[in-house]
Amino acid sequence: MGRLGFGNTESVRLLPLAVFGVLALSLVLAEQEGENLSGLSNNPDKAIFAVRENGTTCLMVEFAVRFLVPYDVLALNGIDLITEQASFTLPRSAEIEGKCDSSESEIHITWKNKAYSLRIFFSKEFPDKGTEVWKISKVQFIYDTSETSHFINAYNRECPAEPVYTGKHTATTHRLSALVTPAGHSFVCQAQQTFTLISSDHQKGITMSMYDVQIQPFDIASDFVFSEPYKCITDQRERLEETLPLILGFILALIIVITLTVYHFHLKMTASQPQLPRDRSMYKNM
């Protein structure tokens, strides 16, 4: 009986370890990996990235991205600092990581040996009348001004007491709610989408522009295939501006045709009626 009691006690002690082991195994089984599909695009500026979970696509982005980053350069007098602008694009050869969940997901893109890192965070919500939507909730960009391919002659002060002046900086959006899209749809926009990020480098403003965009972070039904597109308002307006002259031209042509048709029938009706003499003296002979 003593041995039996000892066994039950050990079972109770081992139960939490067993539960922890099951949870850890489930996390391992839910393996998530990133894939770079940019080679499928004919556009040399456009990148295509996917995040897959257990062999199925759970997040997919297709876009071209450009950054405009201000940075400090030492003036010719060796004392003052002047601000230059670095402009560069997101390379198609970047490395991809990501995370998918039912209500939150993210994609992590790095390049140049992790000198540059872009994180885009997505979330789901129910804003009005129970309609579920997803949106970009945060964008974070980490860059290193000591990387000389884009930051030429950048001034990077190495000071342990003031680490903000080193080459590594983080820029982040604040209270972002962008690209709001109905759940189950992909966001599509040819027009430029601009984000402003505030940098740890003296609160400098960094501009990130995305264009030729198609994104879907949730509810992808088929592997590597976007769901039904939801076009941005800018594209819808531009499409209306393109088609409006055609519509007005068609209406004008239709009005002209109707006017000519009515006039033609009027002439025929007039020609078929008997003509009365214009000279009143002729009425006496009638």
pLDDT of residue 19: 44
Report which residue type is found at 271: A
Residue 50 near residue 38 (C-beta atoms within 8 A)? no
- Distance of alpha carbon 23 from alpha carbon 15, whole angstroms: 13
DSSP designation for 40: G
pLDDT of residue 248: 63
pLDDT of residue 8: 52
3-state SS, residue 104: strand
Please report which confidence band the pLDDT of residue 254 belongs to, taking 50, 70 and 90 as the band edges. Answer: confident
- Distance of alpha carbon 168 from alpha carbon 150, whole angstroms: 14
pLDDT digits (tens, 9 = 90+) for 270-284: 766 665 555 555 555
- Distance of alpha carbon 96 from alpha carbon 36, whole angstroms: 7
pLDDT of residue 87: 97
* 3, pLDDT greater than 50: no
Please report which confidence band the pLDDT of residue 22 belongs to, taking 50, 70 and 90 as the band edges. Answer: very low
Flag the least confident range among 95-109, 157-171, 180-194, 258-272.
Answer: 157-171
Fold for 32-230, please state it.
Answer: Porin (2.40.160)
Flag the least confident range among 166-180, 195-209, 256-270.
Answer: 256-270
Strands 229-231 and 186-189: parallel
Flag the least confident range among 58-62, 112-116, 274-278.
Answer: 274-278
- Distance of alpha carbon 101 from alpha carbon 83, whole angstroms: 41
3-state SS, residue 237: helix
Report which residue type is found at 58: C
pLDDT of residue 256: 78
pLDDT of residue 234: 74
Instruction: Provide long-range contacts, Cβ within 8 A and 24+ apart, for 255-258.
Output: none
* 94, pLDDT greater than 80: yes
Please report which confidence band the pLDDT of residue 29 belongs to, taking 50, 70 and 90 as the band edges. Answer: very low
- Distance of alpha carbon 187 from alpha carbon 232, whole angstroms: 7
pLDDT of residue 27: 44
**Average pLDDT value for the chain:** 82
Sorted by where each begins, the domain ranges of the chain are 32-230
Report which residue type is found at 206: I
What does the pLDDT average to over 122-147? 91
DSSP designation for 222: B
- Count of helix runs (H) and strand runs (E) in the chain: 2, 14
Nearest by Cα to 104 from 198, 6, 223, 218 = 218
pLDDT of residue 122: 97
Q: What share of the chain has pLDDT > 70, as a percent?
A: 73
pLDDT of residue 283: 52
Higher pLDDT, 269 or 58: 58
Nearest by Cα to 32 from 13, 12, 49, 53 = 53
Higher pLDDT, 2 or 119: 119
* 212, pLDDT greater than 50: yes
* 204, pLDDT greater than 90: yes
Residue with tokens 């949730």: 218
pLDDT digits (tens, 9 = 90+) for 62-79: 999 999 999 999 999 888
* 220, pLDDT greater than 90: yes
Nearest by Cα to 33 from 92, 94, 96 = 96
Stated as kind and residue range, the H or E segment containing 226 is none
